[in-house]
Structure 1
Amino acid sequence: MSQKRDDHAPGAPGAIESMSFSLAGLRAGFVRCTPIALGVAGYGFVFGVLADRAGLSAAEATLMSATVLAGAAQLVAVEIWTDPIPVLAVVGTTLVVNLRYLLMGAALRPWFRHLSPTRAYASVFFTADENWALTIGELRSGSRRGAFLLGSGLAIWAFWVLATAIGVTVGGSVERPARFGLDFVLTAVFLVLATELWEGRSTLPAWTVAAVVAVVTARLLPGYWYVLCGGLSGSLLRAAWYDG
């Protein structure tokens, strides 16, 4: 059975008429995301440690975190980092991992098309999995604070870069960071955030299909194709559920 979207419900894209972009919205996003950013810092510390072991200097690792801001992609990059650097392998693998941002950006479009390109694209640069989920929940609740994504992203960025710098500096003295559970921090944080995206039993088929496709793809294909395949299958089913 298909389900029709109520375009007049609070937070529904059809009900959007305008978006604000203010310092208050930016501050709200930063403050709301700070506890989450502290969790991300644990993951950033792990990246710094691994970057040190891969031979990156403190300046190189910190610059990567400041300009790339993609935890999973950066970890994949340092895992295959050698001398000479396998440029095609690094670029190709990180491209696959980050293709999920196409879906995440599309989910933001109903709201962000009301912002100027400068504000929209500046905000999207600071998009990570965690603050994206937080922002989607905020906008779906009926909020029109367009700067919320930028503010929350700045919180993620600041703690991520700082933690990377600390991790790469003290990396030589840390043995097996996984034994402290630091490698699971990002997963745990996102699982908690994912609960805010739950819209009720009507979303269960899409969540289920995405999970099953991701698991099957992970077993059949090497690398991180399961990220894209799982997200895309769930999104397509959800779209068909509304429009069919």
Structure 2
Amino acid sequence: MTFTLEGVRAGFLTCVPVALGVGGYGIAFGVVARQAGLSVAEATLMSATVVAGAAQLIAVELWADPIPVSAILLTTVVINLRYSLMGAALQPWFDRLSPTQAYGSLFFMADENWALTMSELRSSLLEGRHARGAFLLGSGLAVWVFWVGATIVGATAGGVIGDPDRYGLDFILTAVFVALAVELWEGRSSLVPWIGAFVTAVVANHVLPGRWYILLGGIVAAGLEVMRYDE
């Protein structure tokens, strides 16, 4: 495992096409944040420090006066618990990095660049080369730059843009995730955990309030994957 500027550069350039899609989602967040009463500076600061699209959108949807702090915190924790599973998947590789390198990279981890990083790490094994440990950092920086920049655009020009859904911006991340899923597809062996996650998420979405279906779908998929490898 190496951690070099070349790895940062490779991660950044690889993630730029995906980050463009994240940017479209960032514009939508900027618009919604302004409609909720946040200033351009507040929306930008939120995007720069939180870097979690779904959690930020839910937070601004719950925004009121007075701010329901407990509800926002609980909802954000539930939505972002999936990052514990994503971090666990990276642990075998990141054990070889220093704490500064590992935790500094994890700050910039999002769904999109995590998927790209997992693909990069698996490719390094198949190709018999050193894994680029800085790939997550580089790809995360690409996501961060486009996310924050797009938030500024959306928050500044929100009155001109209007409802972002009419431009299809609400579908951008769905399209991005479909493309990433294709990249992570490993053949028929992937069907069981994928189907398990899908069924669990659909059922949980109908039975439980909030966004628990995200976490539960991930847990079921992880469990099925562990069982598949144990066999």
Q: Secondary structure at the match of 2:194?
A: helix
* Contact preservation (8 Å) 1:53, 1:172: no
Note the alpha carbon deviations across 1:198-240, whole angstroms, 9 max, x for none.
Answer: 1111111110000000000000011100000001001101101
Q: What is the distance in 1 between the residues matched to 2:181 and 2:45?
A: 29
Determine the structure 2 residue equivalent to 1:166.
Answer: 153
- The alignment covers a number of residue pairs equal to 226
> Which amino acid is 2:101 matched to?
R
The answer to whether 1:119 aligns with 2:101 is yes
Deviation at 1:168, TM superposition (A): 0.5
The answer to whether 1:108 aligns with 2:95 is no
Alignment of 1:229-240 (within 5 A): 229-240=216-227
Determine the structure 1 residue equivalent to 2:116.
Answer: 134
Note the alpha carbon deviations across 1:154-211, whole angstroms, 9 max, x for none.
Answer: 0000000000011001112222210110011111111101111111111111100000
Identity %: 65
Determine the structure 2 residue equivalent to 1:44.
Answer: 26
Determine the structure 2 residue equivalent to 1:84.
Answer: 66
Give unpaired runs (5+ residues) of structure 1: 1-18
Determine the structure 2 residue equivalent to 1:198.
Answer: 185
Q: What is the distance in 2 between the residues matched to 1:192 and 1:152?
A: 16
Note the alpha carbon deviations across 1:131-166, whole angstroms, 9 max, x for none.
Answer: 000000000011510000000000000000000011
Question: RMSD of aligned C-alpha atoms?
Answer: 0.8
Q: Secondary structure at the match of 1:141?
A: helix
> Which amino acid is 1:174 matched to?
I
Moved more, 65-74 or 194-203: 194-203
Alignment of 1:201-220 (within 5 A): 201-220=188-207
TM-score relative to the length of structure 2? 0.96
Give unpaired runs (5+ residues) of structure 2: 125-129
Q: What is the distance in 2 between the residues matched to 1:36 and 1:237?
A: 28
Deviation at 1:83, TM superposition (A): 1.1
Alignment of 1:146-165 (within 5 A): 146-165=133-152
